[in-house]
Structure 1
Amino acid sequence: MIDLTLHDTGPRSLRVREFYLGRQPILDRNQALFGYELLFRNAPVGPAHVTNDLTATAAVIAHASQLGMEKTIGDALGFVNVDADVIMSDIFPFLPREKVVLEIINTMQATPQVLARIRELVGHGFSFALDDVTGESPDVLALLPLVDYVKMDMRNIPLSSLMKLAPRFRQDKKKLVAEKVETREEFKNCLDLGFDYFQGYYFSRPVIMSGKKLSPSQLAVMELMTLVTSDADNQEIERAIKRDVSLALNLLRLVNTPAVGARQRIDSLSQAVTVLGRRQLQRWLQIMLYAEPSKRGHSMTPLLMLATTRGRLLELLAGKLRPSQREVADIAFTVGIMSLMDTLFGISMTEILEQIPVGSDVREALLTRSGFYGDLLKLVECIERIEEMDNHIVPTLRDLAMSTDDLVELEMAAFEWSDNVVRYAL
């Protein structure tokens, strides 16, 4: 059994800085956010204090005072991988049972001791999921009565098996989670089979539609952004905002979010323009582009969440690396939030950049992932897809001369900021 008490002050005590943290969204059938799978990877730097990623997971959870689970998942559920050692350990007093789902890895043996421990934890209000289920093995059948969720990886299971297993588990009243859903077709297949939840980045893949035009409200925001970035005076900007009532109301709501950090409530458009300044106003207009489809009944919350998290994390990373250059952090935010606009608009990034004038460094970052901003964007994309791309993180950090010490701290700050923004934006 792992000793993971919070009072361990010995030389082998683990700190958050020794891990990378990945957060992958889990969506419901309406593509609204339901939860996140939290993935921890041991950073291959410094002394090796842990032997595997699951031990890393347990250690980080045990040090919850450093991690801040609420900051990491907001109002959503957090899915966390566990094995027999973690299940038999004493980390559970540190976990908010109503906020986490414990994912049992598919290689774990369902011994009598483990089954008894899981029953005990279920009795205390903890929820469990079976991860990467590919069939009805003896271990799966033994664990099935104790779990609420069954997860199936779209990369590891053929459609023919899926068609047999999904009805079987649904009959047992299990919630089905499809993992690694990367295409719209996979999403539709799982939807038809009755899956409840979906994990994967299918929602962030651009579906390019030739000749597609921006909606009137998106065009209004884009025109306003052009005014803001040009030499137009404040009164001209105000008049443009007032021409679209919903735009004006949404902007006032957004600029009063805690994430803005205004010392007083902003009650008028003139005040918003004056208090925020041009760069901040441009930022909130960029965010509104992602929020606008949600208001028309299209569930774009995951894309809004991903874009705002990317933008904020790029901004924080740039601020850490070049602290004396405020403009660099502002540009980094723009690169992050623009990096998903091809998905948002359904048109290619090249076409978008023909409509939105940007500098050459921003263009290079968005089209080829090159230059300083391109390296930041690559790093954030690797963290988002930590399962398959974690080996790219260290070289990218090295290229940026960035240490691992602050990475998780900056990530959590970005998660918390994005969660605040999305609550107000929708």
Structure 2
Amino acid sequence: MKSYLARQPVMNRDKETIGYELLFRDGPNNAFPNVADEEATHRLLADNFLSSSTTDVTAGKKAFVNFPYASLIGRTPLLFKKQCFIVEILETCEPTDELLEAIIELNRKGYTLALDDFVPSPQWSRFLPYVHIVKFDIRVTPVEKAAFFIQHYKNSKLIFLAEKVETQEEFQQCHDAGFHLFQGYFFSKPEIVRRKALSPSALTTLRLYKEISQTEVDFNSIEAIVATDLSLSYKLLRHVNNMTYTRAKPISSFKQALVYLGEEKLRRFITFVATSHATADKPASLYHLSIQRARFCERLSQQLSPKLDSNQAFLTGLFSLLDSILDQPIEVLIDQLPLEEAIRNALIFQQGKLGCLLQLTIAYDKADWQTIKKISQSLKLDESIIADLYLESLKWAATFERTVTK
């Protein structure tokens, strides 16, 4: 059996990712509403907390997991360590005495509890002393109404989370209203700052991107660029040594590292380190998501008939967050890179086969199963294979990130 897993990031007031809500769906024929809540929860728990660790899927951060009524009454969370996840009480739950007893027991045993899609009502008031996080869907409960509730409980220990935050303006509005945590994709839709000067690190990154986008990599040009940035050159040298620890003698110069790696490995390695360098003052999600998208697009490209150029697919995924990383409009940045027309059209207009892969990647990030189904059919891709490749890309990105940050 196949499972569909997507993640939605949860961020704090500094736009730092503190966790991910894990979203489960069953096979291709049950992509959205037909999956029962109980089945979805049990399969997600079995796939990600019994048979494997969530470290790869959540990059070591907190996991938010939905629990429907029967699972809570049956004390299903008690089967797992309290550190495993944050227990989300689904909005479909009825505020019965039986449910309250279960919540009190979970609270006393140290589990972190969250009320999902909370709508203030007298029936739920008695639950509030035993929960830790209250989630408001700002598409259902206006920010102004939520702000009144937050103000009323400002002296409590409750943490308030705003869901469905899609823009920078909405983030600021929720921030001002007193929310502590935020869930949504506003960070991937950056506020356009036209003609904003690039920082020195961003300029270095863009110059490196130009070099790796060339048909043939110019080792001398890359060496000259990296030599101007002490932090980046040290970082590159350190990581190359991590990759080549079996050598009798360590690599002691960047020139030596270039020769050792060769063109293909160097292209990829520069890509990753340059991206992490540029996102040093950004949410870690940007770095992780950009390399995960790159891998996902690359793997998807090999499933098409005929196959697409895997390097083009990789760059499409990687550069899909370039506007967020460098705080510039995507079309302005793409004009400065020697990219193939197919990549340009994919990044700016989401057109062509590469554009379809990018749309599919974004849809998977958002758990937009209807769009996934539509694009999968148009590309003649098996949804179960796509699900496997998505999970593989999450684990691959997490593994790489750990090697980079050692």
User: What TM-score comes out, normalization by structure 1 length?
Assistant: 0.84
2: distance between equivalents of 1:366 and 1:97?
A: 42
The answer on 1:310 being equivalent to 2:289 is: no
1: distance between equivalents of 2:356 and 2:346?
A: 8
Structure 2: runs of 5+ lacking an equivalent:
none
The answer on 1:277 being equivalent to 2:262 is: yes
Other-structure match for 1:128: 113
Q: Percent identity?
A: 29
Deviations, residues 383-414 of structure 1 (Å, cap 9, x unaligned): 1111xx22111121122222222333322222
C-alpha distance 61-218 of structure 1, shift in aligned 2 (>3 A): same
The answer on 1:81 being equivalent to 2:70 is: no
2: distance between equivalents of 1:143 and 1:159?
A: 22
Q: How far 1:321 moved relative to its partner?
A: 4.2
Bigger mean CA offset, 281-290 vs 239-248: 281-290
Counterpart of 1:332 (choices 313, 317, 327) is 313
Superposition pairs of residues 46-61 of structure 1, within 5 angstroms? 51-61=35-45
Deviations, residues 291-310 of structure 1 (Å, cap 9, x unaligned): 23554xx3331211221221
The answer on 1:146 being equivalent to 2:127 is: no
Deviations, residues 217-276 of structure 1 (Å, cap 9, x unaligned): 22223323434435465345334322321221122344466xx79865755423432343
Other-structure match for 1:114: 99
Other-structure match for 1:374: 355
Superposition pairs of residues 377-396 of structure 1, within 5 angstroms? 377-386=358-367, 389-396=368-375
Q: How far 1:34 moved relative to its partner?
A: 0.3
Other-structure match for 1:191: 175
Aligned length: 401
CA-based RMSD: 2.9
C-alpha distance 243-63 of structure 1, shift in aligned 2 (>3 A): closer
Q: How far 1:380 moved relative to its partner?
A: 0.9
Other-structure match for 1:209: 193
Tell me if structure 1 keeps the 8 A contact 2:360–2:372. yes
2: distance between equivalents of 1:267 and 1:134?
A: 60
Letter in 2 for 1:272: A
C-alpha distance 80-422 of structure 1, shift in aligned 2 (>3 A): same
2: distance between equivalents of 1:320 and 1:268?
A: 39
Q: How far 1:176 moved relative to its partner?
A: 1.1
Tell me if structure 2 keeps the 8 A contact 1:71–1:413. no
Tell me if structure 1 keeps the 8 A contact 2:168–2:191. no
Superposition pairs of residues 16-415 of structure 1, within 5 angstroms? 17=2, 19-45=3-29, 51-64=35-48, 65-66=50-51, 68-89=53-74, 91-92=76-77, 95-138=80-123, 140-228=124-212, 229=214, 231=216, 233-255=218-240, 268-295=253-280, 298-321=281-304, 328-386=309-367, 389-415=368-394
> What SS does structure 2 have at the residue aligned with 1:92?
helix
C-alpha distance 256-370 of structure 1, shift in aligned 2 (>3 A): farther
2: distance between equivalents of 1:256 and 1:88?
A: 53
Tell me if structure 2 keeps the 8 A contact 1:225–1:282. no
User: What TM-score comes out, normalization by structure 2 length?
Assistant: 0.88
Bigger mean CA offset, 230-239 vs 401-410: 230-239
> What SS does structure 2 have at the residue aligned with 1:176?
strand
1: distance between equivalents of 2:254 and 2:172?
A: 43
> What SS does structure 2 have at the residue aligned with 1:29?
coil
C-alpha distance 221-390 of structure 1, shift in aligned 2 (>3 A): same
